[in-house]
Amino acid sequence: MDDLLFILAQLNYLLVVVAGLLGSGNRPSWLDRFSSPGLFAGAGLHAAGLIVLSAETGGLPVYTPGASMATISLLLIVGLLVIRRVPRMEALTPVILPLVVVLLALAQLLPNALRPSPLPPGSLSPVWIHLHIGMIFVGLGLLTLSFLVSVMYLTLRRRLKQKKLKGLSRFPDLETLDKTNTRLLLFGFAALSNGIALGGVWWAANPNTSSLDETAVATIAAWLWYALAIQVRVVGGWRGKFASLVSVIGFSGLAASLVFVNIMLSGWH
Amino acid sequence: MAVSQGRLVAIGLNHETAPVELRERLAMPQDLVGPHLTTLLEKGYAKESVILSTCNRVEVYALVDEDEGGQGIRSYLSGNRDHAEIISKHLYHYEDEEAVRHLFRVASSLDSLVVGEPQILGQLKEAYDTALSHHSAGQVLGRVMRRAISVGKKVRTDTAIGGHTVSVGTAGVDLAEQVLGTLADKKCLIFGAGEVAELVAVAMQSRGIGELQVINRTLHRAEELAKKVAGVAHTEEALLTELEHVDIAVTSTAAQTPVLTASMMAPVLRKRKFRPLFLLDLSVPRNISEDVNGLEGAYVFNIDDLQDVAQRGLRRRSEEAQLAEVLVENEASKCFRSLDSLNAGPFIAALTQRAEDIVETERQRSHKVYAELTEEQRSGMDAMHRAMVKRLLHEPIAQARKLAEEGRMEELLTLGETFGIHPLPADRQASPVPEDETD
């Protein structure tokens, strides 16, 4: 059932992408009116799929890489719905949606990806671990958006430098991208910090865990990098290519290490 | 060929035929246009000439010998310079009616980078005034230029071609808004206080720019412009310091070498921590060297880069432009045909002179005969004589123009003989015949 809902959500997302890619003069009027309702419908189907998955597995859809991808992709959609309210930022739609479609496809295609994992044993209430995971996921979602906004900034910058002004109106302006990126970085970093702190509390209170695993190390390393990114952007006041590259490099490293650790190695910690 | 005095040519290059690198090689500062006009006449390349040199075009309109056909002007424009062969390839060359049509399209802003922009008409007037002051615009070019200016005004009045005003300056403002977002919280620096600088400043102000600063070599001109646009004036020494703080900088000066280079801008951009600086260079020759765009944080656009923005304006105005094209076509054809009537000029001049001589003789005679008349009565009698002669001459003058336009020169000579006059060859200087071309 959850598979069907995810497929329907993907179809909605793809239609929204197609509607956006067709020039406003070329697309049929029904498709023109479809974007926002299509996005909301897709998000609804996506969320319903996750609820069904949770009901079937008896836990939050975060304990396996596949379930995590489905959850993070929904967070990206929620983030997109918020960002689209900023003038001209709807330009991010055809960038984010294909990524979401790919993540959802991977969530379904990876072998045994959506199997539940038992809640790790511990002396603290499960609320702590749920808050820890929730915060980390929100942080990752926001930092993913920050990465995409940075990529868009760098693309726009490149086009401007090369004087390619055709189709410029499809992009948000540099300042809007820059401000959005700063906010995403700040909120993402704050969520990641809280998530790590909550995980630390749980880890300290859990007598059965003796050392940090690969996921925790990768997350803390990413946190340190993003602390540097905040320093560069917010405290140092840097803008432009270098500030965006710091976000891109940070996210690329974090994504690569999480994929490697959780899919290629032992799995979720 | 309808111009009996020679061949009418329009030779030059513009934003469509030549890149800015070539245009800036040919660009003529306003104070050098006069000497160039004189040289063209002295070297015998032209009998009459007008030079139009703007950011987007350098053109010579001239009356030349029919056999020579404007080759001297071509070599004058492209010769004695590096890359002469390349420049020559980019030159266009219109003759007779095509030349008139091209001039009318230029005057109507149909040939502009941004169709419908208003500056070109003023620039054309200035070019004609310069030619008049250097005695290089005679009967033929005088008539064509005056008619072109009149058609330019008519197109603006009768069509909505300028309805969505997007001059080169405002196209730049559009681009700034697209790249940097709302201008309400932005600071803009204008370097230069000329006509283009003022247009940009006004456009910035109308879009609600947060703060305007004006810098010019002459402080009082900067202050004048700053006063008009509610801005702040600075001396040229403050340029680099102010660039550290603004979001947009527009340069429009007559400097012949770049005023902003990469070595000057690199420290400025570092101090800005690479916050985007939108640099709009509306000058030809360019004021900002090309390598500045390679620096992080600097986004440099020159007038050629506005082509894309201008194309949008072109689309919006395409319907109006089509109407204007029809109007220009008709007017150009009519004007070119009317140049033949200039052949009637010597006849009309001689007839008018003869009539004035008769009036003067009779006036002196009547003053002697009627010595008792008061000064007021004499003035009244003089006015009556002049009015009678004017009315008597109206019909033969109109007939002479018609015969000349239709090329019936034999009949024109017969008409002259009827009045006992023998028309002289056309003079190069502006016609004494009252003109009704300008509005």
Q: Rounded to 5 degrees, what are φ and ψ at B189? A: -115, 130
Region B202-218: mean pLDDT is 91
Cβ atoms within 10 Å, residue A145: 28
Instruction: Please give the pLDDT value at position B428.
Output: 39
Instruction: Please give the pLDDT value at position B8.
Output: 93
Angle separating helix axes A65-83 and A93-109, nearest 10 degrees: 160
A/B interface, count of CB pairs below 8 Å: 51
> Quick check: bond before B396 cis, omega within 30?
no
ipTM for the assembly: 0.80
Q: Nearest CA to CA, how far is A246 from chain B (Å)?
A: 14
Residue B190's DSSP bridge partners are B214, B250
Region B84-97: mean pLDDT is 88
The number of helices, as runs of H, and strands, as runs of E, in chain B is 17, 10
Q: Say if residue B310 is exposed, middle or buried (CB neighbours under 10 Å; 0-12, 13-18, 19+).
A: buried
Instruction: Please give the pLDDT value at position B434.
Output: 38
Question: Hey, is A85 helix, strand or coil?
Answer: coil
Region B240-260: mean pLDDT is 93
Percent of chain A with pLDDT strictly greater than 70: 85
| Distance between CA atoms of residues B133 and B30, nearest Å | 13
Binary contact (B273, A239; C-beta < 8 A): yes
Per residue in B151-198, pLDDT (tens digit) is 999 998 888 777 654 666 777 888 898 889 889 999 999 999 988 888
Binary contact (A175, B276; C-beta < 8 A): yes
Segments of B65-177 assigned E as strands: 92-95
Binary contact (B181, A173; C-beta < 8 A): yes
Of B177, B276, B309, the CB nearest to A165: B309
Region B22-40: mean pLDDT is 90
Instruction: Please give the pLDDT value at position A164.
Output: 85
Binary contact (B274, A241; C-beta < 8 A): yes
| Distance between CA atoms of residues B39 and B72, nearest Å | 11
Per residue in A222-263, pLDDT (tens digit) is 889 899 888 888 888 888 888 888 889 988 888 887 777 666
Cβ atoms of residues B281 and B287 within 8 Å: yes
Residues 6+ away with beta carbon under 8 Å from A115: A57, A64
Cβ atoms of residues B252 and B190 within 8 Å: yes
Region B125-140: mean pLDDT is 92
Residues of A with CB below 8 A from B180's CB? 173-175
| SS3 per-residue string spanning B231-279 | CEEECHHHHHHHHCCCCEEEECCCCCCCCECHHHHHHHHHHCCCCCEEE
Region A88-109: mean pLDDT is 88
Cβ atoms within 10 Å, residue A190: 15
State in Å, rounded, how far the first CA of chain B is from the last one: 28
Percent of chain B with pLDDT strictly greater than 90: 41
Of B177, B274, B293, the CB nearest to A242: B274
| Distance between CA atoms of residues B19 and A24, nearest Å | 33
Of A161, A165, A238, the CB nearest to B308: A165
| Distance between CA atoms of residues B242 and B256, nearest Å | 22
Instruction: Please give the pLDDT value at position A147.
Output: 93
Closest CA to B206 of B180, B236, B228, B223: B228
Q: Which residue has the higher pLDDT, B273 or B79?
A: B273
For residue B124, pLDDT over 90 is answered with yes
Cβ atoms of residues A132 and A202 within 8 Å: yes
Binned at pLDDT 50, 70 and 90, residue B424 comes out as: very low
pTM of the model: 0.63
Region B97-115: mean pLDDT is 91
Binary contact (B274, A240; C-beta < 8 A): yes
Instruction: Please give the pLDDT value at position B393.
Output: 87
Residue pointed to by tokens 């310069």: B130
Q: Which residue has the higher pLDDT, A219 or B151?
A: B151
Region B14-42: mean pLDDT is 90
Q: Nearest CA to CA, how far is A166 from chain B (Å)?
A: 7
Cβ atoms within 10 Å, residue B279: 24
Binary contact (B275, A239; C-beta < 8 A): yes
Binary contact (B308, A236; C-beta < 8 A): no
Q: Rounded to 5 degrees, what are φ and ψ at A249? A: -65, -45
Instruction: Please give the pLDDT value at position B61.
Output: 96
Rg, chain B, Cα only: 27
Sheet holding B277-281, edge to edge: B232-234, B211-215, B187-191, B248-251, B277-281, B298-302
Instruction: Please give the pLDDT value at position A240.
Output: 84
| Distance between CA atoms of residues B286 and B369, nearest Å | 73
Cβ atoms of residues B290 and B257 within 8 Å: no
Q: Are strands B248-251 and B277-281 parallel, antiparallel or unpaired?
A: parallel
| Distance between CA atoms of residues B29 and B31, nearest Å | 6
Instruction: Tell me B210's DSSP state.
Output: S
For residue B436, pLDDT over 50 is answered with no
- The full length of chain A comes to 269
For residue B236, pLDDT over 60 is answered with yes
Residues of B with CB below 8 A from A240's CB? 274-276, 296-297
Q: Are strands B48-53 and B211-215 parallel, antiparallel or unpaired?
A: unpaired
Binary contact (A168, B296; C-beta < 8 A): no
Binned at pLDDT 50, 70 and 90, residue A98 comes out as: very high
| Distance between CA atoms of residues A14 and B192, nearest Å | 51
Query: Which range among A143-147, B41-45, B386-390 shows the weakest confidence by mean pLDDT?
Result: B386-390
Q: Which residue has the higher pLDDT, B25 or B281?
A: B281
Query: Which range among A32-41, A86-95, A117-126, B354-363 shows the weakest confidence by mean pLDDT?
Result: A117-126
> Chain B residues within 8 A (CB-CB) of chain A?
175, 177-181, 273-276, 293-294, 296-297, 299, 301, 305, 308-309
Question: Hey, is B215 helix, strand or coil?
Answer: strand
For chain A, the maximum distance between any two Cα atoms, rounded to a whole number of angstroms, is 64
Structure tokens at B41: 């006449």
| Distance between CA atoms of residues A132 and A197, nearest Å | 8
Binary contact (A165, B305; C-beta < 8 A): yes
Per residue in A106-141, pLDDT (tens digit) is 888 875 555 555 555 655 667 777 888 889 899 999
**Catalytic amino acids of B?**
55
Percent of chain B with pLDDT strictly greater than 70: 90
Instruction: Please give the pLDDT value at position A32.
Output: 63
Residue to mutate among A89, A154, A161, with most B CBs inside 10 A, is: A161
Rg, chain A, Cα only: 19
Of B273, B296, B305, the CB nearest to A163: B305
Residue to mutate among A159, A181, A232, A239, with most B CBs inside 10 A, is: A239
Cβ atoms of residues A214 and A186 within 8 Å: no
State in Å, rounded, how far the first CA of chain A is from the last one: 28
For residue B35, pLDDT over 90 is answered with yes
What does pLDDT average to over chain A? 82
Residues of A with CB below 8 A from B274's CB? 238-243
| Distance between CA atoms of residues A60 and A54, nearest Å | 5
Question: Hey, is B49 helix, strand or coil?
Answer: strand
The number of helices, as runs of H, and strands, as runs of E, in chain A is 9, 0
For residue B411, pLDDT over 70 is answered with yes
Binned at pLDDT 50, 70 and 90, residue B226 comes out as: very high
Binned at pLDDT 50, 70 and 90, residue B437 comes out as: very low
For chain B, the maximum distance between any two Cα atoms, rounded to a whole number of angstroms, is 94
Residues of B with CB below 8 A from A174's CB? 179-181, 276
Residues of B with CB below 8 A from A169's CB? 178
Query: Which range among A66-75, B87-96, B244-253, B412-421 shows the weakest confidence by mean pLDDT?
Result: B412-421
Q: Nearest CA to CA, how far is B324 from chain A (Å)?
A: 27
| Distance between CA atoms of residues B413 and A72, nearest Å | 96
Region B234-258: mean pLDDT is 93
What does pLDDT average to over chain B? 85
Instruction: Please give the pLDDT value at position B307.
Output: 66
Q: Are strands B187-191 and B48-53 parallel, antiparallel or unpaired?
A: unpaired
Q: Rounded to 5 degrees, what are φ and ψ at B42? A: -65, -35
Binary contact (B276, A168; C-beta < 8 A): no
Q: Which residue has the higher pLDDT, B223 or A205?
A: B223
Cβ atoms of residues B338 and B405 within 8 Å: yes
Q: Nearest CA to CA, how far is A115 from chain B (Å)?
A: 47
Closest CA to B109 of B71, B151, B78, B68: B151
Per residue in B301-324, pLDDT (tens digit) is 988 887 666 666 666 677 778 888
Binned at pLDDT 50, 70 and 90, residue B439 comes out as: very low
